[in-house]
Structure 1
Amino acid sequence: MTNLSNLTQEQIDELKNLGNAPVDYSDIPKTTDFSKAKFKYYKIEPIKQTVTMRLDADLVAVLKSFGKGYQSKTNEILRSVVMEHKMPVLNITD
Structure 2
Amino acid sequence: MPTKDSNTVKRTLDLKKPPVLSAGQKARLDAVAAMPDEQIDYSDAPSLPDAVWMKAAAELPHTKQQITLRIDTEVLEFFRHTGKRYQSRINAVLRSYVEAHKTHAK
TM-score by length of 1: 0.42
Highest CA radius of gyration, 1 or 2?
Answer: 1
Give the structure with the higher percent helix: 2
TM-score by length of 2: 0.37
